[in-house]
């Protein structure tokens, strides 16, 4: 690094980790550039992840409401409610475009230089950019932030070809040209269950094939079991403890060969479309990390210390390409903390309370420890639960599926975990996260006045159940 460096920070990757880091760095007075090859800012999340999936989840939810739930509210549709898939996809695209454009605007507002091109680290203080429009640019910089994100992990027996629309990954599943009659979802994780729900609501028969004997490994077991029951009731089919051995793409669909994961006879299943959603892996291809001798772990994640610093002090990494949950808000928090550290401030991420949300209906939201983790750690704990069927607001909107479950330290009453299945669980979890961030006890929340009638009263009552008694159950 020398006084003549063009930049204080060059961020490689313009996803939620990278663009947030770039804006924060610039706000803190650092001369900042962000290099993104996709042609659009926002990364996986905005272009082919969180945002388009939530758009389709909402549209398909409205359809399901109209076709199956309007009746119970006394709403009768004279005629049919039809899906115009093209229009639904356009609505999704409009949300995405508005938001990516919004980040470009923010870059201008906060004076972040945006380079459209592929970045390669050529030294501790230099990034070579192969510009999308042709030509190269060599950037000299005091610091480099790697925010190159992740990509779907391939599944050997099931090679993805998003163009053919037969075996697809999440990106292909966000853009199917028609509603499949039969859709297989390989992998019972968040992305598979969300995308499976979209297509089931729109009319597909959806079968989730999962190698383990449960969906959503790592989630609180009671919540996982409850959620599985709800999804089955909605008509989603499950083949648990089942692995995909082979696939054959034909003109009219895909034949999957499956086998019990513990061994046993193979069988064949036919589908129109197969979604492979078995996980994501860090993406650092072409970045030049090997040549720089930057350490990576066995999963291909960039190894960093608590300040997101690699072995080369001027090179940092954040988001999906390092350890931790692959979530947009985790990447954003790291982007901010890393920018603060680079600017000489104390940046910090509290990894104990990173919420995780599944945007199905009902939603599932969790933060903190699961009951199984507390058992493993030998922590003496208490459980408070409250079902939405006993919540007045859930009753008056006739949407009573789910519960709030609070886990507290048996001695101190401090909240250690919050697990919610419910219509607005993804919003409600913020209450749990704030409580845990501030070290709240369940009694703190039980004695906090919550508006009536709201779903959040179920949260309060679950806290009452943990430290005294609930009133309404």
Structure tokens at 72: 């119970």
CB 168 within 8 A of CB 275: yes
- Binding-site residue total for ligand FAD (CB under 6 A)? 36
- If binding is defined by CB under 6 A, does position 355 make contact with ligand FAD? no
- If binding is defined by CB under 6 A, does position 327 make contact with ligand FAD? yes
- If binding is defined by CB under 6 A, does position 189 make contact with ligand FAD? no
Question: Exactly one of 11, 22, 33, 50 binds ligand FAD (CB under 6 A); which one?
Answer: 50
Least separation, in Å, of the C-beta of 367 and ligand FAD?
A: 13
- If binding is defined by CB under 6 A, does position 374 make contact with ligand FAD? no
| CA separation for the pair 192, 244 (Å, rounded) | 15
Tell me the window of 143-151, 216-224, 304-312, 374-382 that interacts with ligand FAD (CB under 6 A): 143-151
> Is 108 one of the annotated binding-site residues?
no
180 versus 356: smaller Cβ distance to ligand FAD: 356
- If binding is defined by CB under 6 A, does position 100 make contact with ligand FAD? no
38 versus 142: smaller Cβ distance to ligand FAD: 38
Tell me the window of 227-235, 322-330, 416-424, 441-449 that interacts with ligand FAD (CB under 6 A): 322-330
49 versus 384: smaller Cβ distance to ligand FAD: 49
- If binding is defined by CB under 6 A, does position 18 make contact with ligand FAD? yes
Structure tokens at 138: 């060599």
Question: Exactly one of 7, 10, 16, 206 binds ligand FAD (CB under 6 A); which one?
Answer: 16
- Beta strands 267-271 and 253-260 are antiparallel
| CA separation for the pair 185, 368 (Å, rounded) | 28
Structure tokens at 90: 């356009």
CB 121 within 8 A of CB 315: yes
161 versus 270: smaller Cβ distance to ligand FAD: 161
Phi and psi based region of residue 135 (left: phi greater than 0; alpha: psi -120 to 50; beta: remaining): left
CB 390 within 8 A of CB 473: yes
Burial class (CB in 10 A: 0-12, 13-18, 19+), 473: middle
Asked if 452 is an active-site residue, the reply is: yes
**Which residues fall within 8 angstroms of residue 130, CB to CB, at 6 or more apart?**
117, 118, 120, 136
CB 341 within 8 A of CB 307: yes
363 versus 431: smaller Cβ distance to ligand FAD: 363
Rg for the chain (alpha carbons), in Å? Answer: 24
Question: Exactly one of 9, 11, 12, 198 binds ligand FAD (CB under 6 A); which one?
Answer: 12
* Alpha helix stretches (DSSP H) within 221-370: 221-233, 289-292, 328-342
- If binding is defined by CB under 6 A, does position 426 make contact with ligand FAD? no
- If binding is defined by CB under 6 A, does position 107 make contact with ligand FAD? no
Q: How wide is the angle at C-alpha 252 spanned by C-alphas 250 and 256, nearest 5°? A: 55
* Element housing 195 (H / E): helix 190-201
Question: Exactly one of 143, 170, 247, 408 binds ligand FAD (CB under 6 A); which one?
Answer: 170
Residues 301-305: contacts with CB under 8 Å, at least 24 apart: 302/146
Mapped onto helix, strand or coil, the DSSP state of residue 300 is coil
> Is 73 one of the annotated binding-site residues?
no
- If binding is defined by CB under 6 A, does position 331 make contact with ligand FAD? yes
Structure tokens at 332: 């954003």
Residue entry with tokens 């006045």: 449
Question: Exactly one of 22, 25, 30, 35 binds ligand FAD (CB under 6 A); which one?
Answer: 35
Exposure pattern of 183-201 as b/e (b: 16+ CB <10 Å)? Answer: bbbbbbbbbbbbbbbbbbb
- For 374-414, where are the E strands, in sequence order? 381-387, 403-409
Question: Exactly one of 23, 25, 38, 387 binds ligand FAD (CB under 6 A); which one?
Answer: 38
- If binding is defined by CB under 6 A, does position 45 make contact with ligand FAD? yes
Tell me the window of 76-84, 94-102, 176-184, 328-336 that interacts with ligand FAD (CB under 6 A): 328-336
Question: Exactly one of 32, 37, 226, 424 binds ligand FAD (CB under 6 A); which one?
Answer: 37
- If binding is defined by CB under 6 A, does position 187 make contact with ligand FAD? no
51 versus 258: smaller Cβ distance to ligand FAD: 51
Instruction: Select which of 61, 361, 450, 452 is catalytic.
Output: 452
- If binding is defined by CB under 6 A, does position 289 make contact with ligand FAD? no
Tell me the window of 32-40, 100-108, 211-219, 463-471 that interacts with ligand FAD (CB under 6 A): 32-40
Structure tokens at 307: 């300040």
Applying the rule CB under 6 A, the residues between 264 and 283 that interact with ligand FAD are: 283
| CA separation for the pair 168, 176 (Å, rounded) | 9
| CA separation for the pair 376, 433 (Å, rounded) | 22
Q: Which residues are part of a known binding site for FAD?
A: 54, 119, 148-150, 320, 326-329
Q: Which residues are part of a known binding site?
A: 54, 119, 148-150, 187-194, 210, 279, 320, 326-329
Q: Which residues are part of a known binding site for NAD(+)?
A: 187-194, 210, 279
Catalytic residues: 452
Site residues for ligand FAD per CB under 6 A = 12-18, 35-38, 43-45, 49-50, 53, 118-119, 147-150, 170, 191, 283, 286-287, 319-320, 326-329, 331, 359
């Amino acid at each position: 690094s020398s006084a003549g460096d063009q930049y204080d920070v060059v961020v490689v990757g313009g996803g939620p980790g990278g663009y947030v880091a770039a804006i924060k760095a610039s706000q803190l007075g650092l001369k900042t550039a962000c290099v993104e090859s996709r042609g659009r800012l926002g990364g996986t999340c905005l272009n082919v992840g969180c945002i388009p999936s939530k758009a389709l989840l909402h549209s398909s939810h409205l359809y399901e409401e109209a076709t199956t739930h309007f009746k119970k509210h006394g709403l009768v549709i004279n005629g049919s409610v039809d899906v115009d898939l093209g229009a639904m996809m356009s609505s999704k695209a409009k949300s995405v475009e508005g938001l990516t454009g919004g980040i470009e605007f923010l870059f201008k507002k906060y004076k972040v230089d945006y380079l459209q091109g592929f970045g390669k680290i050529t030294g501790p203080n230099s990034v070579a950019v192969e510009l999308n429009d042709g030509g190269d640019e060599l950037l000299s910089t005091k610091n480099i932030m790697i925010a190159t994100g992740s990509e779907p992990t391939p599944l050997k027996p099931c090679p993805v070809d998003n163009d053919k629309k037969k075996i697809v990954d999440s990106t292909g599943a966000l853009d199917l040209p028609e509603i499949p009659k039969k859709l297989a979802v390989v992998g019972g994780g968040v992305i598979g269950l969300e995308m499976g729900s979209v297509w089931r609501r729109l009319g597909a028969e959806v079968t989730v094939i999962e190698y383990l004997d449960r969906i959503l490994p790592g989630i609180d077991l009671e919540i996982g079991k409850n959620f599985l029951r709800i999804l089955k009731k909605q008509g989603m089919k499950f083949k648990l403890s089942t692995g995909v051995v082979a696939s054959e793409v034909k003109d009219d669909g895909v034949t999957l060969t499956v086998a019990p994961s513990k061994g046993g006879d193979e069988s064949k299943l036919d589908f129109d479309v197969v979604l492979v959603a078995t996980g994501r892996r860090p993406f650092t291809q072409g970045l030049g990390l090997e040549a720089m001798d930057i350490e990576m772990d066995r999963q291909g994640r960039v190894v960093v210390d608590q300040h997101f610093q690699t072995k080369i002090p001027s090179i940092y990494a954040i988001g999906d390409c390092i350890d931790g949950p692959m979530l947009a808000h985790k990447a954003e928090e790291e982007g901010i903390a890393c920018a603060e550290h680079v600017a000489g401030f104390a940046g910090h991420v509290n990894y104990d309370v990173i919420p995780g949300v599944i945007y199905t209906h009902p939603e599932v939201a969790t933060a903190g420890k699961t009951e199984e983790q507390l058992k493993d750690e030998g922590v003496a704990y208490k459980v408070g639960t409250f079902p939405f069927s006993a919540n007045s607001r859930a009753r008056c909107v006739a949407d009573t599926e789910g519960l709030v479950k609070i886990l507290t330290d048996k001695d101190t009453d401090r909240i250690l975990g919050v697990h919610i299945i419910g219509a607005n669980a993804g919003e409600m979890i913020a209450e749990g996260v704030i409580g845990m961030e501030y070290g709240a006890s369940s009694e703190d929340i039980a004695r906090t006045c919550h508006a009536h009638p709201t779903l959040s009263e179920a949260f309060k009552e679950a806290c009452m159940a943990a430290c005294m008694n609930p009133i309404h159950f």
